[in-house]
Every structure is written in C-alpha cells, then in structure tokens.
Amino acid sequence: MAIENKPISKEIKTQAVIDSFKKLNPLVMIKNPVMFVVEVGTFITLILSIKPDIFGFDTVGRTYNIAVFLILLFTVLFANFAEALAEGRGKAQADTLRKTKSETTAKLRHKDGSYQDVPSTSLRKGDIVRVDTGEIIPSDGEIIVGLASIDESAITGESAPVIKEAGGDFSSVTGGTRVVSDFIIVKILTDPGESFIDRMISLVEGAARQKTPNEVALTTLLAVLTLVFLIVIMTLVPIANYLDVSIDVATLIALLVCLIPTTIGGLLSAIGIAGMNRVTQFNVLAMSGKAVEAAGDIDTMILDKTGTITFGNRMASEFIPVGSITEKDVTFASLKSSVKDETPEGRSVVELAHKNGLSWDENEYKDAEIIEFTAETRMSGLNLKDGTVIRKGAVDAIKKYIAAKGGSIPSDLEEKSNIVAKAGGTPLAVAINDKVYGVIYLKDTVKPGLKERFEELRAMGIKTVMCTGDNPLTASTIAREAGVDEFIAEAKPEDKIAAIKKEQDDGKLVAMTGDGTNDAPALAQADVGLAMNSGTMAAKEAANMIDLDSDPTKLLSVIAIGKQLLITRGSLTTFSIANDIAKYFAIIPALFIMAIPQLDYLNIMGLSSPKSAILSALIFNAIIIPLLIPVAMKGAKYKPMDANKLLSKNLFIYGFGGVVAPFIGIKIIDMLVSTLQFV
C-alpha cells in the first residue's frame, strides 16, 4: 500500500499540539461558530481574571475567574487538537508521497523526431516523451507507441509490475512510476502541478477538503442552537436585575458554554477528516467527502464488465470457421482484419495468427483506409485500395453490417458464436466484403473473490447490475460467474448513462465502477463514480473515486466507511445534545442557589457548592472532547446490518449515555474540586 496505515506517531501528536495553538486565530475559529463563541468567552474571562470588577461589580473573585478562563481555554484547545490530529495523519501521508515525486529528466521529442533532455517539471499537455527501461515516467500520459511492464508501487504499493500498452483501456501511465522492461512513447496529458500524484497529495493533506452538504447543514443547525442559547442566557440578566440579584459574567459564560453543543462542535470536522483518511487507508482515493457520504447510502451499483469485473486482457485464443470456410481461411481473414488494429484485442489476433504460421505483406495494406474500433460501431477493420472491405466486430454488429450489404449469414454462425459466449468468452465475427468467415474467440478471466463480495452487497440491500458492450450470452455467463443480480448487454456509452439515470429517477443513489474511456460519461453521471486505477485517464478524471488496486468490490469498504461516517456523526451529535440537557440540571440550580441561598433544595445532585458545581460541569464539558477523540477518529462501531436498526441502536446508546454520563462525571469532578480552597 502506498498510503501507509501507521498508528498515529509521536511527531504527529506533537505537531497537533502546536497546531491547536495556531488554530486559536479567530479568523480560523470563526468557521466553527460553536467553538468561536467559546473562544470569545475565553477572552472575556481572561479580562475578568485581570480585572474582576470590569463590569462594575465582583461577586466571585479573581481565582474563580481564572479557573473559568483556564477551563474554557482548554475546551478550545481540545477541539483544535482533535481537528489537528485528524489532519496530521494526512499530512504525514502527503510527505511520504512528496518524497516519491522526485525531479527527473525527461526525453522530449521534437517535431523533427530528435530528442532533448528536459526537466520533468517543464513538461506540458501534448508533449511527447520517450521512456526507456529503468527510467521513471516523468508525468501522467497515454502510451502512443509500445508496450512495457511498469512498476507502479510508488502509487499503488503493489510490487508486481503491470503491463501497459498503446490503444485500449490499459494505455494510461502515471508520473512517478517506473518502466521495468521495454520502452514506450508517451503523450503527456497533464500540466505541471495537476498530475495524479499532485492530486493525491492535496487529497490526503486535506487541502482540497470542502465541507459536505450534510456537514454544512449540521454546522448551521449547531450555530442556530448556539444563538438560541445565547439569547436565553442574555435574557437572564434583566430577570436577575429585576430580582435584584447580580449574576457574575464568568458564571453566565460558563452556563452558556455548558449548554451549547461544544462536544459535536469540537469533533465535527475531525469526524469528516478521519472518515476520508479511512478511505485512503483502503487504497481508494476519494475526491470529496460528499462522495464518501453518498457511498454510505448507495442503492444500486452498476459495473462495466471488461477490465472491471474481468481482468480485461481479452486475448484471441481460437479462430473458428463457419460454413464452408477452412480454418486457414478464417485465420487469414482474422489476421487481415487486425493488422492495423492497435487495440490489445487486435494485437492478440495478429499474434495468434503468427503463432499459427501465417504472415502478411505490409505493402498490401500500405494505402488501406483504417476503420478504427469504436464503442459505438463495435467494429473495426480496413478498406483496401482495390475495394475490398474487411471487418471484425461484435457478432450482432457484423450481422447487421452484412445484411445491409445484401450478404447472407451462414447458418452455423449463431451456433459457433454461442459456444464462445456460453464459455464466457467474447466472440468477434470476421467478414470480408459480404461474406462471413468465422468467429474469433476472445478469452477473459473474471477477477477472483467477486461472488462473495457481491453477496455481501446483496445482504446490505444493494443491487448490482453489470453493463457491458458485449453480447447477451457472454454477458449472462459472466454475470452468473461473478454473481451480479442483473445485466445489460450490448450497451453503448449512452445506454450506460441511461441505466444510471433510470435508477436515479426512481430516487435511487447509484454507484458506477468502470475503467474505459467509454465509461467516463457514466462515471460522471453516477452519484459515486469509482474508476479502476488500471483504466484510462478519461475514466479516472470523470470519477470521484479511484481504486488504486483496481478492485470493483472495494466499493463495499467505502460504503461501510460512508455509513460509519454518518452514524458516527449522528451518534456524537445525539451524545452532545443529551449531555447538554444533563448539564442544565447541574448548573441551573447552582446558579439560583448562588443568588438566593434559600433555594438550596434545588441541589438535587448534592453538589458541594454552587461554584464547585459550575466549575465541575465546565471541566466535564471540556474533557469529554479529548475522551471522544478516539470515537471520532476510528468511527462508531459498525457492523453490516440494517442501517435503520443500527442507527436506532446507536441513538439509544449515545442518547442514554449522553444523559447519564454527565451526572456521574460531574459528581466525581465535584468531589475533587470541592477540596480546593477557593470554592
């Protein structure tokens, strides 16, 4: 794993302590309204500590004011520490990544074909470079010539090299990875500072972090609650004046801070950052917290077949003749159809024909018009100078093509291609002019372990749909083998989008996983788009998550983290508010007793003195924040079970715990505090 999952080190903790002080800057604090109010209170009590009668009266004395000031200061620092600690882990990961981003030299190709050594940082979009064995790829791009095995461990942490080649879905290369065999010519696709590693760095560092809509809503709610309590506390002043009792300002501030939701206010951003951190620890890069939260609520998951469910290295394994065609003729026709096909499928056809002892004359195809493969036509081929047209492609596409030309379809084409499809292979029909020669058998392998994980998704109530450009028979075989619930075959890129939109129109949240350029629009349309790192640049750019291990079922982990994130936030909010209600019972009686000692019967908790009661409640309010940091960082306990059940279970635990904990905590603290001289 490139992104290390180390326990929080001493350095991170030390740095977090330093950062907690830096975050006292009011311009930073204002982003967190609840804690900003606490900071203002801290400032006022600081002044009261210096000049206790600044408001014209002093009923409590300097020491009490200093005590309130210190507890408030620690309350703010604890909240800052929680956030700094969560950020610290990401910063450490970013530093590790930065080290891999060493300055290298690139061989830039000029228009005249000559090469010049330039620093990798000077490369721009559109530049062409050559990378030889042992060299580091200078920036992100696409292989335009060649095939090489590449060590991507700097990014994925996986030490086994991967094969990358021009054409098709495995042509993208990432800056910072190393060519271990052969050479490649790469077209650079990013400008300096926008590369994949740059994006990874800013992601793990949280530089690009934006509050999610859920977080914004909760922050607003907490701010409103704070405002309400502020008004309530302010109205106490005229009431007290009317009763001719004076309530000191430090106590009013203490009361306010105890009543506003400081626990969740202090932990909210740490919860979000830690959630994103957990995602990266699974080797998934999430572009936004919003995507992670959306993952927690996913109803439907749509998957591309080749390269996502299967490994995607579709290789020709057999040439099957139809009608009266001989094996040699179909092999030759297949070879002809593929000599100019630069996709991995096309090259594998040429290779197999070679192995079967056939060769071709380059001259014969020199002036031929190349018909490149597209996901729309699902065909590729050549138009020769002499008028001969050669095509290969999806069987139904070739059938339509031949029918339009007025040719006849051999009676055994269906049967022969079905044999291939039933085995999970992709049959490609080959035709010259209006005559079908036979079928090319493209073999592919389903990635292991999918069935079990799709089973888990089903248990969570998530529907899986495979969406492929391949024929229905192949699709159904692979669908069965992989264990998806449904499949859509013969899907063009727009069909993939339509499939997603249809689910979304039914009010469903949809995740899409894919790797190809043709998947990019669908990845962008989905609520959660997970691209395989093995896939094309277009797919990775359109998606809002990238799995560095190219494992589509990784979404399962992200779903769990998303759900856990929402549950953690909900639980701690419940705890925080329940807590504040309990503190109300400790602190309000104290306030009245302080003013009117005859009201002592209100002291239901039997606290030793009004001052001790208030300080104890305030201390409890402060230390609950660091005590809950582990929950915020690790997330509330999560088991894959019915989400509603889990939520109500958590609400009960945290709600009940939130009411009971302060009574016990404040009582214990009061027993300790009451031994102090000044209270």
Sequence ranges of the binding site for ATP: 341, 345, 373-380, 392
Angle (CA) 37-261-631 rounded to 5° is 120
Smaller CB distance to Mg ion: residue 39 or 304?
Answer: 304
Q: Which range of residues in 327-335, 468-476, 621-629, 632-640 is near K ion by CB under 5 A? A: 621-629
CB of 250 to K ion, least distance (A): 16
What does 373 bind: K ion, ligand ATP, Mg ion, none (CB cut-off 5 to 8 Å by kind)? ligand ATP
Distances (CA, A) of 667 to 177, 616, 619, 633, 662: 60, 8, 11, 28, 8
Residue from 139, 190, 313, 426 touching ligand ATP (CB under 6 A): that is 426
Residue from 343, 417, 513, 568 touching ligand ATP (CB under 6 A): that is 343
CB of 190 to ligand ATP, least distance (A): 24
The residues annotated with a catalytic role in the active site are 304
Q: Which residue is nearest to Mg ion (CB)?
A: 516
CB of 259 to ligand ATP, least distance (A): 57
Bridge partners for 512 per DSSP = 302, 529
Residue ranges at the known binding site: 341, 345, 373-380, 392, 515, 519
Burial of 455 (0-12, 13-18, 19+ CB in 10 A): exposed
What x/- string results for residues 482 through 521 when contact with ligand ATP is judged by CB under 6 A?
A: ---------x------------------------x-x---
Distances (CA, A) of 168 to 173, 319, 518, 575: 13, 22, 10, 53
CB of 470 to ligand ATP, least distance (A): 4
553: contact with K ion by CB under 5 A? no
Phi-psi domain of 3 (left: phi exceeds 0; alpha: psi -120 through 50; beta: other) = beta
Query: Do the Cβ atoms of 271 and 569 come closer than 8 Å?
Result: yes
578: contact with ligand ATP by CB under 6 A? no
Residue from 156, 262, 269, 574 touching K ion (CB under 5 A): that is 262
Residue ranges at the known binding site for Mg(2+): 515, 519
Burial of 498 (0-12, 13-18, 19+ CB in 10 A): middle
345: contact with ligand ATP by CB under 6 A? yes
Residue from 265, 296, 469, 658 touching ligand ATP (CB under 6 A): that is 469
Phi-psi domain of 265 (left: phi exceeds 0; alpha: psi -120 through 50; beta: other) = alpha
CB atoms inside a 10 Å sphere around CB 408: 11
165: contact with ligand ATP by CB under 6 A? no
Q: Which range of residues in 11-19, 228-236, 371-379, 402-410 is near ligand ATP by CB under 6 A? A: 371-379
Give per-residue burial for 200-224: e unless 16+ CB within 10 Å, then b: bbebbbbeebebbebbeebbeebbe
What does 89 bind: Mg ion, ligand ATP, K ion, none (CB cut-off 5 to 8 Å by kind)? none
Q: Which range of residues in 67-75, 139-147, 260-268, 484-492 is near K ion by CB under 5 A? A: 260-268
User: How many amino acids of this chain bind ligand ATP (CB under 6 A)?
Assistant: 24
CB atoms inside a 10 Å sphere around CB 126: 10
Helix (H, G, I), strand (E, B) or coil at 250: helix
DSSP 338-397: HTT--SHHHHHHHHHHHHTT----GGGGTTPEEE---TTT-EEEEE-TTS-EEEEEEHHH
User: How many amino acids of this chain bind K ion (CB under 5 A)?
Assistant: 2
DSSP 520-551: HHHHHHSSEEEEETTS-HHHHHH-SEEETT--
CB of 131 to Mg ion, least distance (A): 26
Bridge partners for 142 per DSSP = 172, 187
Smaller CB distance to K ion: residue 256 or 499?
Answer: 256
What x/- string results for residues 283 through 312 when contact with ligand ATP is judged by CB under 6 A?
A: ---------------------xxxx-----
Residue among 112, 177, 110, 170 at smallest CA distance from 139: 177
Q: Where are the alpha helices (DSSP H) in 484-609?
A: 493-505, 520-525, 537-542, 555-595
195: contact with K ion by CB under 5 A? no
Please give the Cα distance from 292 to 276 (Å, whole number): 7
Helix (H, G, I), strand (E, B) or coil at 452: helix
CB of 310 to Mg ion, least distance (A): 9
Residue from 76, 108, 189, 379 touching ligand ATP (CB under 6 A): that is 379
Q: Which range of residues in 34-42, 259-267, 537-545, 634-642 is near K ion by CB under 5 A? A: 259-267
Q: Which residue is nearest to ligand ATP (CB)?
A: 469
393: contact with ligand ATP by CB under 6 A? yes
Smaller CB distance to K ion: residue 34 or 302?
Answer: 34
CB of 165 to Mg ion, least distance (A): 15
DSSP state of 310: B
Smaller CB distance to K ion: residue 34 or 390?
Answer: 34
Distances (CA, A) of 596 to 63, 234, 674: 22, 19, 20
Smaller CB distance to ligand ATP: residue 380 or 553?
Answer: 380
Distances (CA, A) of 188 to 142, 316, 379, 548: 7, 30, 28, 21
Residue ranges that bind Mg ion, judged by CB under 5 A: 304, 306, 516
What does 262 bind: Mg ion, ligand ATP, K ion, none (CB cut-off 5 to 8 Å by kind)? K ion
Q: Report the interface residues with K ion, using CB under 5 A.
A: 262, 621
Q: Report the interface residues with ligand ATP, using CB under 6 A.
A: 304-307, 341, 343, 345-346, 373, 375, 378-380, 392-394, 426, 428, 468-470, 491, 516, 518
